[in-house]
């Protein structure tokens, strides 16, 4: 979820009712819905699968007696080439403005590219005093069960965002350490490795000489040598051999 989507969510909080509560979904009577589809490339707009999804949304709304106000489509932008889902942002703005009270998708995965973003979308729709309806899997946040499932999905989404943030921070830390090692020490380790020394043998040599680690510690470990050289972590089943703890 980008900055604009975040701003929409913040404004949605501002429209909450007295005491910070958000009114429940509107009654099904005369319900007005917005349909939403997302495709990976412009050429997919004419794909039969997308046409079937559009037909499914239209048929569902007619069967329920709902008025389908519009069917909005997003084409995923390339990396770093602008907002990823302007049509979805527009849909949330229209829900918040009272033009419709329901967002219908043929598949829940249409809402966003990853589960990490799903919670933000569900929150934004909820705080627009609207509901999300997915045809596959069957899912409606306007029902008690749907609201419970929505909260569960939002929790999972938050966990995934936190996990990604931790992974990103760890990766940046490793890059910083790799750049921080003195060039002469790095060259020496590279030569030791090229000479056929295992990581454990390099560690033993550095520790015996009292060479401080990159972080200023007194004891080197195989993992710290890997990080210093920018190595990728070996697969679990090769770890023992790589560290020199078993015979090659």
Question: What is residue 52's predicted lDDT score, i.e. its pLDDT?
Answer: 93
Residue among 93, 97, 111 at smallest CA distance from 35 = 111
Cβ-based neighbours of 238, under 8 Å, separated by 6 or more: none
Answer yes or no: pTM beyond 0.85: no
* Local structure of residue 37 (DSSP, 8 states): E
Which domains are assigned to the chain?
3-163 (3.40.50.1390), 181-242 (no CATH)
Query: What is the C-alpha separation between 94 and 71, in angstroms, rounded?
Result: 12
For residues 108-129, one letter each, b for 16 or more C-beta atoms within 10 angstroms of the residue's C-beta and e for the rest, the string is bebbbeeebbbbbbbbbbbbbb
The C-alpha atoms of residue 171 and residue 169 are separated, in whole angstroms, by 5
Helices (H), 86-137: 86-96, 115-126
pLDDT recorded at residue 166 = 66
Both structure tokens of 211: 């060479």
- pLDDT (tens, 9 = 90+) of the chain, 248 residues, equals 555 445 444 444 433 333 333 333 444 657 999 999 998 777 677 778 889 999 999 999 999 999 999 999 998 765 444 457 899 999 999 999 999 999 999 998 888 877 778 888 888 899 899 999 999 999 899 999 888 887 877 776 566 566 666 665 555 555 555 556 777 888 888 888 888 888 888 888 888 888 887 666 778 888 777 766 665 544 443 343 344 444 43
pLDDT in the model for residue 57: 97
């Amino acid at each position: 979820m980008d900055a604009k989507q975040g701003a929409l969510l913040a404004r949605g909080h501002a429209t909450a009712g007295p005491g910070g509560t958000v009114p429940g979904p509107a009654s099904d009577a005369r319900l007005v819905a917005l349909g939403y589809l997302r495709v990976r490339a412009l050429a997919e707009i004419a794909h039969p699968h997308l046409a079937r999804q559009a037909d499914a949304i239209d048929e569902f709304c007619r069967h329920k007696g709902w008025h389908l106000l519009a069917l909005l489509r997003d084409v995923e932008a390339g990396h770093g080439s602008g907002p990823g889902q302007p049509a979805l942002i527009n849909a949330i703005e229209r829900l918040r403005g009272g033009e419709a009270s329901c967002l219908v998708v043929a598949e829940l995965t249409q809402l966003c590219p990853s589960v990490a973003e799903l919670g933000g979308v569900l929150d934004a729709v909820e705080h627009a005093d609207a509901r999300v309806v997915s045809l596959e899997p069957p899912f409606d946040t306007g029902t008690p069960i749907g609201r419970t499932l929505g909260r569960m999905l939002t929790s999972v989404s938050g966990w995934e965002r936190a996990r990604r943030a931790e992974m990103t921070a760890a990766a940046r830390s490793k890059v910083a350490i790799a750049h921080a090692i003195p060039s002469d020490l790095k060259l020496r380790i590279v030569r030791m490795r090229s000479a056929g020394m295992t990581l454990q043998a390099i560690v033993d040599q550095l520790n015996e000489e009292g060479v401080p680690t990159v972080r200023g510690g007194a004891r080197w470990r195989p993992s710290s040598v890997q990080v210093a050289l920018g190595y990728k972590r070996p697969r679990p089943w090769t770890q023992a051999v790589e560290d020199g703890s078993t015979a090659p």
